[in-house]
Amino acid sequence: MTIDVISATESVCPVCLARIDAQRIRIGNDVFMVKTCPDHGEFKTILWRGDTPGYTDWSRPKIPAHPSNPFTQIEHGCPVDCGLCPDHRQQTCTALLEITQRCDLRCHFCFASAGEFVIPDPDLHTIEGWYKRLLEAGTKANIQLSGGEPTMRDDLPDIVAMGRAFGFEFIQVNTNGMRFAHDPAYVKRLKEAGLASVFLQFDGTDDDILKTIRGVRQIERKRAAIAACAENEIGVVLVPVLIPGVNTHNIGAIIRFALEHFPTVKGVHFQPVSYFGRYPQAPADVDRFTIPDVMRAVEDQTGGMIKVENFTTSGCENALCSLHGNFVVMPDGSLRAWIKQQTGCCTPTSAAEGAEKTRQFVAEHWAASSNTIALGSIGETPFGEWDVFLARTKTHTFCISGMAFQDAWNLDLERLRDCCIHTVSPDGRLIPFCAYNLTNQRGESLHRPQASSAGALS
């Protein structure tokens, strides 16, 4: 079997998180990261499985967009100096504000290890400071209110309204949907406060899957949450965490469920599982679901309705972190892709332009559209099919995307420096999502505050 070195990079040791040299190598059609720590030995992790599409074809060069107002300086190097530091290569597209660490579920897979420790919720004055901090950074990023479970806070509508008052036009809540399912007055308050979209945890259409991952059978509550959003004209994006052997067989069913609930459900955002939070042990390669695995599963499980060639890379984050495909729902219920995948492109694009286009696209297409249903009869007009397609790109867009977050075993510092999804830390720094959630093999965090045995922040 042929083994080729593709390129060198830098990573971290999964045991001590020290920065170490690494190589990307190709073995057959698969790409791996290999790295050696002088104290803890060699680690090899799969990055890319298969050649449809190819790893190097999927890559895209970008012209960096360094922070206009970095909050930290370069002292120890990436990933320690996050804040953002002047060496970061992308602006903030989405800013996450973790407004609580409380949660009403105890999921087996959790980025935040939510609910494990009693950490007081930040008060409104603190959250106001975070919004101001984003403005100081020179960004009007899209906002995602996260946690923990944000709906544990009764004042969540006030937090939404505060963000809108500061000029942040697109605000989304990352939620399991449990409160949405049983508290319609709360959902109405959120809409009135200016909530645009819900990032709804949705790991499968089968209650057995949900019980395995989230500990609770809840598919009917998911349906109720979507219905509440429909009633209040709030857009929904379904967010499945993909875990090999648990729900990766359910990808096609999740997409069909989303289409059944269109236009309230605007799309599906797949997240192949990353091993930090509550799962710090070393994963085997069979425990990984790579970006091409997602695309091929979508094609296979939709019977070719959606094809691998319908997906492309993002102009925002590093191309190797994500996939997206934009489709138009036609009058007969079929999907037509906006674009066809392009490979082998080597002309650098502007990272700043990519971030701005992504911000605008998300704000336009992930929020509810008041004229979507009104224009549903356009297929009965004398327009030709192409005219129908063009008209419905504004009103009937359905998005399928995915994000492969990095953990201590597969972290690539080149990819990390291109990150456009930044968490606002408690002290007001902007930290790339994967760096903020990074834990070592013992579960110790590099940036996320952790409670000591006495309950205090470490």
183 lies in the same domain as 267: yes
Please say whether the beta carbons of 148 and 98 come within 8 A: yes
Q: How far is CA 403 from each of CA 124, 216, 322, rounded to the nearest angstrom?
A: 31, 25, 4
What is the Cα–Cα distance from 92 to 90, expressed in whole angstroms?
7
Given a contact cutoff of 8 angstroms between Cβ atoms, the answer to whether 263 and 373 are in contact is yes
368, part of any domain: no
Q: Assess if residue 385 is contained within a domain.
A: no
Residue 394: inside a domain? no
pLDDT beyond 60 at 110: no
Query: Could you report the per-residue pLDDT of 295-314, keeping only the tens digit for each?
Result: 999 999 999 999 999 999 98
Domain of 302 in residue numbering reads as: 62-325+347-363+402-437
Distance CA 205, CA 40 (A): 42
Strand, helix or coil at 329? strand
The answer to whether the beta carbons of residues 276 and 306 sit under 8 Å apart is: no
- Rounded to whole angstroms, the Cα distance separating 41 from 129 reads 43
Mean residue pLDDT of the chain comes to 88
More confident residue, 370 or 4: 4
Distance CA 33, CA 410 (A): 7
Are 14 and 107 found together in one domain?
no
Asked if residue 207 belongs to a domain, the reply is yes
Higher pLDDT, 450 or 414: 414
Q: Are residues 171 and 290 in the same domain?
A: yes
Residue 7 has pLDDT above 50, yes or no: yes
CATH number (domain holding residue 149): 3.20.20.70
HSE on the CB side for 187, CA within 13 Å? 24
Which amino acid is it at 419? C
How big is the chain, counted in residues? 458
- Has this prediction a pTM greater than 0.75? yes
The per-residue pLDDT for 128 is 98
pLDDT digits (tens, 9 = 90+) for 215-265: 888 899 999 999 999 999 999 999 999 999 999 999 999 999 999 999 999
pLDDT of residue 80 exceeding 80, the answer is yes
Domain count, the chain: 2
List all residues 6 or more positions away from 50 whose beta carbon is below 8 Å from its beta carbon. 29, 30, 292, 293, 296
Q: Let me know whether 46 and 71 are in one domain.
A: no
CA torsion 271-276-277-283 (nearest 10°) is 90
Do 79 and 199 reside in the same domain of the chain? yes
Same domain, 112 and 35: no
Q: In the prediction, which pLDDT does 346 show?
A: 63
Would residue 333 count as lying in a domain?
A: no
Beta partners for residue 48, in sequence order: 31
